[in-house]
Chain A
């Protein structure tokens, strides 16, 4: 089954404790991206990657890191989480230029206390 898998689905953590949210896709997609979704603000792009070792900033990259060492994986790293990073996070992947955002993961609900 074609899918984008995020882990964990739910996470409560404390301020300053480094964490990683994993994202993996089994569709051989070149493009992957991370979003956060907040009430009233909608989905905002954090980082995206066009291929292995190629990443670029979206609209809200501050406080986040990403890496793309393998085509299928695109982890999101919060080196020092803060309460304002409490949000619902989505990973997405797509084939190429046009239909690039075809598949979203199930989401990760992160709470930073």
Chain B
């Protein structure tokens, strides 16, 4: 069974631009979560989608948004990029319940110049 895939793997943007990252979950998984990983703050939860609805949200500004499609694929968008948004963005998928294992993709490395 194929794992979680994320595209693109690397991205370079400039301040003020916006970016869209994509995540394809493991087949059959209906929950997709997004995390931001930085050296300073570690791994932080952004939001989680289940059956096309945002089920949980972390403490990030409104510039960070996401959505999930009917096939469970998910996208996250960051608008008006800031230097501090440079990070590894990780997507994780799981079957449904909070005790179902979350499997992570390789991440998208975003650099904001």
**A complexed with B:** no
